[in-house]
Each structure stands twice: as structure tokens, then as C-alpha cells.
Chain A
Amino acid sequence: MEDLENNTTVFSTLRSLNNFISQRMEGVSGLATPGSSQSSLQMQYQQRMQLEEQAGQIHSKSQLLQVEREKMQMELSHKRARIELEKAANTNARNYEREADRNQELLTRIKQYQERETEAENKLKEQMEMNKSYKKSMETMSKKMQEKESKLAEANETITVLKGKISELQWNIMNQEMQMTSQDSQKQELMEQLDIEKKKWQEASQQIQTLQASQSLLAEYEQKIKDLEQKLSQQEHDALIVKNMKAELARFPKMERELRQLREENAYFREMKENNGLLKEEVEGLQRKLERYEKVQAQLVTVELENEVRSWEHLVDEQEFPLLTPDDLSRQIVALQQRELALKEQNSTFMNSARMLEKARQQLQEEILCVQSQLLEEKKKREHQEALVRRLQKRVVLLTKERDGMRAILESYDSELTPAEHSPQLSRRMREAEDLVQKLHAHNTELEVTKQPPAPAPGLQELRPLRLSCQVTRSALAGARFAMLALKIEELEAERSKLAEENRSLQMKLESLTLQGDYDPSRTKVVHLSMNPMSLAKQQRQEEQQQLQEECERLRELVRVLKGGGSVSGNLEGVGGFQSPQEVAELKKQVESAELKNQRLKEVFQTKIQEFRKVCYTLTGYQIDITTENQYRLSSIYAEHQGDCLLFKASSSSGGKMQLLETEFSRAIPELIELHLLRQDSIPAFLSALTLDLFSRQTIA
């Protein structure tokens, strides 16, 4: 501002100067133009000099002014500067304080940040360590991953193998399912047959059951019978036994009694022993008594006999027989018996005669019955024929009445007709009537001969037609006409009834047919919609059938393919429905690769094995062959004969322990066996010793 002001004053002074100069110049120029140029030049030079002095004065004034102003300004500026400096100082102080605060804050922050830094560094370290550890673990994990991948690869291989197996199994399963289905169908047929036969079997079993039941019943009955028989026999036995026992039991009381008696006798005898003397005396006395008693008895016997004789004599006396002796009695008895016999014979003869008479009586009674029945029958016949006679008489009466009526009708017809036409017919009728009469006479005579009661009736009948014959001849034509009319009426009535029945049957048929749905084609017709559910259903059925047939043909082709067999791939294609073609192709490839692997492995194994065996042979000098499961045959490279070999048998399954078996060759080397195997128990030593031995032999030989 001050500078600008200074400048503006300078410029303003300069401008005023220039203006002055220009004015002066103009004035100068106006004054001194036509003058000489030199004077003007001097004038100009003087003017310029003046001007320059003025200018210099002005300039110095202006400089003074300027300096003063500058001084003023300097003072002002000093003051201002001081104020500003103070302000600035204040502000600086404040700023300083603020910045001190800020510093402190920043310091604290720095400290915090340093702490954080340290923490972060620690964390970094830790994390670095963690990282390292993680890296290690990662490495381990990667190793594990590799292992697992290798395992996976193995697993995949196994999976491929298994898939191959699975495909094979699936193929087998398919085959088996086919067989299953065929067998199912067979099974169903067989099941049906089974059902039929089961039913038969059930019926048979039921019959068997009934039979068995009946048989069991029979057996039970038989058993019952046997039991009953046994029981019977037992009972008989028992009865016998019982009887025996009864007898014995009957004996038993007797025995008891005897026992008692014996005991009593014993006692008695004991008593008797004591009383022997007395008894002897008593015996003597008793003997005497006995003698007396015997005598008495003899007397008694005689007395009894005498009594008997007396009684007999009494009897004899009572019966009034002349004889008295028993012989006579016996003879009488005999005679009586003979009489008895004779009487019995008479009795028997009387009985026979009685029976004969009874028989004759019965026969006579039967004859009487027959005769009575015949009588009854003849009575019945008589009554029957009397009834016939009455009926015929009644008929005759009716006929006479009819004839009377006919007579009246005929007389009426006669009155209508002329007699001339009837005469030939009348004569004819007369002849016919006469023939009738003769026939009736003959019939009558026959009947009279047989003596039948109805004889009078035909006779009556004969009489009547004789009387009516003339009247009949008169009414012949009318009767014929009448008969014809009557016949016609009857025929017509029969026809009418038949027609009525036919009508009824036809109406019934019509009704049934209308119920069934019949119609009169001349008057009605049957319509229906073309698009009806029946036709739709039939169409659907046909379409279904066609589809099923196509499916059938497809399945038949599949079956043919399957039956044809061929490569596994072909079968898998045929199976096709189980797996998508991609999987099939993959599995095929896997299978092929697996097969190739197998083959290669086999070849490799074989070559390796052969190589190994050759190497063993060359290195150890023995060719080891496996003859049977656990037996190994060693042939030495230096064997003298081709058949020389040693046989070892593995005693344990792992082949750890071997035992030498006897062969011809082993018999030839017993010393070596004894030394190395039995004493030293070392098969390698034995084999090496043997090799050396054979080698030495060979080289020597």
C-alpha cells in the first residue's frame, strides 16, 4: 500500500512533469517554430536544462516527500510491525502452547503407536511363527494329502477293479434275474399246480383225517374191546381167583377156626398132660361108655330099621297093595314105571293126533276164508253189474228222450223236405237197421249164454234202435248236415283256441323282445354319437395294445441280444437300461485298462520270477521247485544224475522250519546229513557242504 502510494505519487509527479513538459514544449514550439532551428535548439537546450533543473528540484522534492513519506510510513509500519509482532508473538505463544499441547499429544500418540508398534511387531513375530508352524503343518498336510492322494489313487484303482467286478456281477445279476423271471414264471405255474395239488392234498388230507379219525376211533374201539376183553379175562381170572380166594377165604375162617381149635387143643392137650391120669381113668370110663354107646347105637340102628319097615308096612297098608316085601315093591315100581312109559307113549301119540287135527282145522279155516273172499268178490261184481244195469237203464231213458227230440226235429225236417228224395236213402237205412238188429240179436244170445246180468240192458238197447230205425232213416240227411256243421264248429273252435294261444305266445315274445331292446326297423332307427365313450375306449385299448406289442418286440430283441452273449461291451450295451452310455463307455475303458494291467502284471511277474529263479540257481547252485503244497525239491547244479534231488517239507505254514524228507539221493549222503542237520542243525551249511562235495566230485571226474 505504501509502496503503491509511493508509486502513485511518483507516477502522479511524473505525469505532472510530463504534462508540464509537453505544455512547455507546445508553448515553446508555438513560440519558436519558424525561428531558426539553432536558436530553437538552444532554446530547447536551455529549456531542457531548466526543465531538467526543475525536474531535478522536483525530483529532489519528490524524493524528500518520498523520504518523509517513507519515514512516516516507516514509523507507521514500525508500529504496525510492532503490533503485528506482538500479535504475532501472542499468536505464536498461543501456537506455541497449542503446539506444545499437540506435541504432548503427539508424543503420547507416538508412545501409543510405539506400543502398538511393539505389539504389532510381537504379533507379527507370533504370526510369523504361526505362519511357520502353519507352513510346517501345511507341509505335513501336503504330505498327508499326497499320501492320501496316493491312497486315493490306489482306492481308485481298487474302485476300478471293483467296478469291473461290479459290472461282471451286474451282468451275472442280469442273467440271474432273467433266470429268476423265467423261474418265477415256472414258479407261478408250479405254484398254480401246487395250489391245485394243495387243494387235492387238502381234500386228501381231510379224507385222510377223517379216515384217521375213523381209524383212531376204530383203534380206540379195538383198544376198548381189548381192554374190555382183558378186563373180562381179568375179571374171569379175578372171578376164578375170587372163587379160589373165596374158597380159601371160606377156608380161612375154617383155618382160623382150626387154628383156634388147635390152640385150644394144645391148651387142651396141655391140660390133658396135666390131667393125664385123670383122663386115662376117664378114658377107661369113657371106653366103657363107648362100648355102651355102641351097643346103644346098634340097637338104635335096628330100631330105626324096624321103624322104616313099619313105615313101609304102613305105606303098603295105606296104598292097599297085596304085596308086603320090598322086592314086590320094587317090582311094583318097575311095573309102574313101565305103565308110565306106556302112558307117555300114548300121550305122545295123542299129541301128534291133536297137532294133525289142528293143522286140518287151520286149513279148513283158510279155505273158508278164501271162499268167503270169493263170495265177497262175486257180490261186488254183482253189485257193480247191477249198477251198470241201472246206468244203462238211465242212458236208455236219456236216449229215448233224445230220440224223441230227434224224432220231433226229423218230423220238422220231414215236413220241409219231399219224401221222394229220401226213398232210396230210406231203404238203405232200413237195410242198415236190419243189419244192426241182427247183430244185436247175436250179441244178446251170447250174453244170455254167459248169464251176465247186464244182458237185459243190451236187449233193451236193441229194442230201442229197432223202434228208432225208421225215424233215423227219415232224418239221415239233416243229421249228416248237422254233424258236418257241428264238426265244422268244432274245428273252427279248435283253430280259434290255437290261434289265441299263438297270439298270446307271440305277444309274450314281443314283450320280451321289446324289453331286450328290439325295434321295428320299418318305423324306428337307432342313432348314436360318433364320438362316444365306447369307441374312445376301444381306440385307447388298441393304441395300448400296439404300444405293448412294440415294447414286446423291443424286449424280444433285447432278449435275443442277451442270449447271443458276445463281448462284455455288447452285453453292457444290451443291459444299457441300468447305466447311461457314458458310464458304460467309461466302465468299458476301465475294464480294458484293468485287463491290460493284469496281463502286463502277469507277464512282468512271470519274467521276474523266472529271472529270480535263474539267479538263485546260478548263485546258490540249487534249483528249488515246489512239488506239492508244502514240499520243495532241490536239484543241485552239480548233480551227477538228473534225478538226484532233495525234498524238503515246510513244517510250519510260513515256511520258517523245513524238514528233510528221504529220497534216494539223501540216502547216499548220510554223513553230511548227520553232520550238518542233526548235529549242527543248519540247512544252509548242509546245502553248501553238499555243493562243495558235488563240485569236488565233478571237477575230479
Chain B
Amino acid sequence: AQQQLGREHQGITLRGSAELVAEFFSYGINSILYQRGIYPPETFTRVQKYGLTLLVTTDPELTNYLNNVTEQMKEWLYKCIVQRLVVVISSIESGEVLERWQFDIECDKTAKDDEGPREKSQKAIQDEIRSVIRQITATVTFLPLLESACAFDLLIYTDKDLAVPEKWEESGPQFIANSEEVRLRSFTTTIHKVNTTVAYK
């Protein structure tokens, strides 16, 4: 809380922005998993965040995985070498990709060189994030039903010269053939701008 207050007074630093964006990804991915029914709803518990009641998973394996990815994302966001985070939802049976949630990240690289923090209130960023998450929840109405059992994967688009860490590996982009794309809202912390798109079959 003190840190947050500090941020409110001081503005947004690069590290603070990376943390905010990584946090958003964590809650956003949890919301997507709950809304699309990838995991059974009884494995989710309610928490308060961004002024909303969000559902996060209680499965320890899954939480561990998400935390690993989120920590790595924080680091890469701080270094501004990550371009995109994609949540790929595909059928377990056929391996066919059914949905792609794409979060494009535009990083202002001058923020590293800046001395002072940027002027944007925490509340405004929270409002923007809240509207994005509300929109993610609302997209369930027009997305097609996922009838077969599905699993998800998180892909991160990074700069080519990145050193791939130990437990990570390169993969393909996992496109959807003949997809419909819908652009959702975006939010910005003045250092990182996140655009959300959902592509479905």
C-alpha cells in the first residue's frame, strides 16, 4: 500500500509500469481461463482487484506456471524487449487452435533514459484496465462455444536477439486458419501501451 501511495504521488516509473502490466496479464489470463471454461469454475476463487470482483485459479500447478510467466514478463517488460503476449486456446483432441487472445505491447524505450517518473495517476490506469477486463468478460457473448476439452498456452513475442532462458523454448506462432478478429480496448501507462485483440475461428 505504501508503494502504491508512493506511486500515486510520484507517478509511473519503468519498473512500476512493468509491474502493473504484468499484474494485468496475470488477472487477465485468469479471467480468460474462467470465462472460456478451460478449467472448471469451482477451481476459481474471488478476489478484489481494479475495483472489480475477479476470479483467480486455486490450482497450485497452474498458479505456479502463471507466476513463472508473469515474473519473466516483468523482467522483459522492464528491459522493453517484449512485443506481444498471446494466449492460445486449442483443443486437446485435435490440437487445432480455436482462439487467440493477443496483447500487443508498445514500449516507450526513452523511459529508461528518463530521470523522473511520468505523470499518470494510478486511478486512471486502473480505470482503463478495468474497462479492458470488463470487455474481455463481455466478449464471451459473441465468441463461439468451445465444445471440446481445451488447453491453453502462453506465447511471448520477443526481440530476436534475446537469450532464451533455461526452461523456455522457441515455438511457432500458432495461427488460426480463417479467423475473425475483434479489437478490444487498450490501456497505457505512458510507458507501456497494451492493445488487446481476440481472434476466433
Contact = CB atoms under 8 A, between A and B. Distances in A.
Given A515-B183, A533-B65, A524 B83 contact: yes
Contacts of B154: 528-529, 532
Contacts, number: 102
A398 to B, nearest CB: 54
A522 B160 CA distance: 7
A531 interface: yes
A378 B107 CA distance: 79
Contact of A515 (B68, B156, B174, B181): B181
A530 B100 CA distance: 19
A526 B170 CA distance: 6
B158 interface: yes
Contacts of B173: 517-519, 526
A512 B178 CA distance: 11
A533 B153 contact: yes
Interface stretch (B47-55, B86-94, B114-122): B86-94
Interface in A644-673: none
B199 A529 contact: no
Contact of B155 (A516, A527, A537): A527
Candidate in A515, A537, A541 with the most chain B CB atoms within 10 angstroms: A515
Given A516-B176, A516-B181, A531 B100 contact: no
Interface string B70-109: 0000000000000110101010110100001010100000
Contacts of A533: 62, 65, 151-153
A514 B175 CA distance: 11
A682 to B, nearest CB: 92
B168 interface: yes
Given A524-B158, A526-B157, A528-B154, A534 B90 contact: yes
Contacts of B181: 512, 515-516
Interface in B178-200: 179, 181, 183, 197, 199
Contacts of B104: 514
A514 to B, nearest CB: 8
Taking chain A's interface residues, is the majority helix, strand, or loop, or is none over half, making it mixed?
mixed
Interface string B141-175: 00000000101111111111010100111111111
A525 interface: yes
B159 A524 contact: yes
Given A517-B173, A538-B92, A528 B160 contact: no
A523 interface: yes
Contacts of B149: 537
A516 B104 CA distance: 12
Contacts of B172: 526
Given A515-B183, A537-B151, A529 B168 contact: yes
B125 interface: no
Contacts of A538: 92, 95, 151
A173 to B, nearest CB: 36
A476 B28 CA distance: 75
A532 B65 contact: yes
Candidate in A517, A518, A525 with the most chain B CB atoms within 10 angstroms: A517
A536 interface: yes
A637 to B, nearest CB: 89
Given A524-B84, A524-B158, A532-B153, 15 more contacts: A515-B102, A515-B199, A516-B199, A517-B174, A518-B173, A518-B175, A522-B160, A524-B157, A524-B159, A525-B158, A526-B156, A528-B153, A528-B156, A533-B65, A534-B152
Interface of A: 512, 514-519, 521-538, 541
15 contacts: A517-B100, A517-B175, A517-B199, A518-B175, A519-B83, A519-B173, A526-B172, A527-B168, A527-B170, A530-B168, A532-B65, A533-B153, A537-B151, A538-B95, A538-B151
